[in-house]
Amino acid sequence: MTEPEPAIVVPNAWQSLRSLTAARIALGRTGVSLPTSAQLEFQLAHARARDAVHLPLDTAQLAQDLKGLEPDQPEPIVLASAAGDRLTYLQRPDLGRRLDERSRETLAALQPNAAGYDLALVVVDGLSALAIAQNAAPFLRALTQRLAVEDWSLAPITVVTQGRVAVGDEVGERLGARAVAVLIGERPGLSSPDSMGLYLSWAPRVGLTDAQRNCISNVRPEGLAVTEAGYKLHWLLRESRRRQLTGVDLKDETGDALEASAADDIKPAALRNFLLA
């Protein structure tokens, strides 16, 4: 009788924890190395992250996806940062924080709103156009439904290519908005090439620092769902307008507010799955 072959992969004792996280834990081993399957999965995740960084944003498709978010809302205005191409964008973060001259002229040519706008929504490709393509439209749909029942005046939605977070401050300033919310593709992780971040600034202007912004991170189906993210940003927007500030002076208290309200459609457990600065 032939003896069975010994198992090649030695399982890890913590393997059961893998059902709780997408993190690469308890992969087992073959000798002193990773199993071949784990190594191949790592290479695939790395390739997907690289693809997300270099994938160009399809602005025409995004404009189509954003149609009809608000009654009488014009088509999104497509702008560009001062970084002329992807290689320059990756090597010169400072250029990604400012608009190019043509985009400034485009905004200057708009008919000004005498009363100004309460909020400018700026969609930026950042380091993952994939995140914007998949998450921006569903999120804005969830957010604008909440804003529609209040007296928010929205500036025309803008889309910025080759942009960093701070480019939203220049857009908001040139539009005369009292607040700006930037939707941006985050730096891809090895298990999250599609993660979108949200940044909120009160009184946007060139030169703001990260301490003057609030951030909601990891917006994607496997992270913070768009409904929960919309709830959080809406809460921050209301508090920002009431107190006229953002950043380190504006703390997220949506957990307490949720308990005090009857927002039954938001699950408290899901609200813990985010990063807020």
Asked whether residue 226 is marked as a ligand-binding residue, the answer is no
Asked whether residue 186 is marked as a ligand-binding residue, the answer is yes
User: What is the spatial distance between Cα 249 and Cα 241, in angstroms, rounded to a whole number?
Assistant: 13
CA atoms within 13 Å, Cβ hemisphere of 212: 16
User: What is the spatial distance between Cα 201 and Cα 7, in angstroms, rounded to a whole number?
Assistant: 56
Asked whether residue 150 is marked as a ligand-binding residue, the answer is no
> Which two tokens mark 228?
């929960």
* Closest alpha carbon to 246 in 184, 187, 169: 169
| Structure-token match 């090649």, residue found | 8
| Structure-token match 């928010």, residue found | 152
Instruction: Please report, in range form, the residues annotated as the binding site for adenosylcob(III)alamin.
Output: 165, 186, 215
Instruction: Please report, in range form, the residues annotated as the binding site.
Output: 165, 186, 215
